[in-house]
Structure 1
């Protein structure tokens, strides 16, 4: 009889949980400090370097501001989608066998929860990092993001890395 797959807690779930908690703490800590400690809304834009400014953007949609929702029904629908995604990612986390996969899923979960907290408490996701460059007299701006987004992207990169170069792949001599 084959062994039952874990549903909520597996061998590396604790590793993923630590990654999620670190991502969540860094994200929420930075947002609380920038909004209420530093008072970024009153001081923006704040140049940090030649390519980086701190600004305030309230994202009412999903990634890159897609599908903006201004009403409470839309905001709660986006929050519900996020909760379902986190639950499915958690089930996946309970079944993983590779440490990088566990860390990657934890980063995605922590980032998703961080942005969900914003949506539930502030009505929108607080984004504040603006990357930009002036090339040949033209200014290029990247979308504005936060540390939860960084954690999600890092987690996705980790998952892609493990897919392309799995740890148990046969190495050439």
Structure 2
């Protein structure tokens, strides 16, 4: 098995498992909108349900569920398509795409199963709260950040190759 596919399998299995286990635990042990302070004035575990996307975007859109399921499925197909085209040396890219894939699948499972996504990580500074999120959202954000870094590095690599092509031996 190629390393990039092993990366996708391991990262996705681990993250989807952690994401779904944490959501199930929160759903079974907490009441909706209840909160547990972890770090005073900074971090709580708060059980929320999100019918929309980030920041509850499109939460009241009448076709939101089929729309978000379709968008998630398209994202998964696009990620797999890009994944298949990766060069053997693009392990960092494979890792970043695996994080995004796992996050997309984790939230897709919630949308199909519940019609909404369970969020519970509540970061705030006193009364100023960032919208609650979950493990899948975190994986997507970290994956996109790593992918941006990787794209920057790849662009510099390509520029360097144009300026200093490898010498032909032979």
Shorter-chain TM range is 0.7 to 0.9
Aligned to 2:73: 83
Among candidates 15, 35, 50, match of residue 45 of structure 1? 35
C-alpha contact (below 8 Å) 1:53/1:131 kept by paired residues: yes
Could you tell me which runs of 5 or more consecutive residues in structure 1 were left unpaired when the two chains were aligned: 1-8
Alpha-carbon RMSD across the aligned residues, in angstroms, is: 2.2
- Quote the offset at 1:65 in angstroms: 1.2
Distance in structure 1 (CA, Å) of the matches to 2:25 and 2:44: 16
- Name the one with the larger helix percent: 2
C-alpha contact (below 8 Å) 1:10/1:96 kept by paired residues: no
- Quote the offset at 1:109 in angstroms: 0.6
1:110–1:79: structure 2 CA closer, same or farther, 3 Å change rule?
same
Q: Does 1:125 align with 2:117?
A: yes
Among candidates 47, 50, 54, match of residue 56 of structure 1? 47
Q: Does 1:142 align with 2:133?
A: no
Aligned to 1:35: 27
- Quote the offset at 1:19 in angstroms: 1.4
Paired residues in the alignment total 155
- Quote the offset at 1:166 in angstroms: 2.9
Aligned to 2:56: 65
Could you tell me which runs of 5 or more consecutive residues in structure 2 were left unpaired when the two chains were aligned: 161-170
- Quote the offset at 1:78 in angstroms: 1.2
Q: Cα deviation per residue 1:84-139 (whole Å; 9 max; x = unaligned)?
A: 110111111111121111011111111111101111111100011111113xxxx2
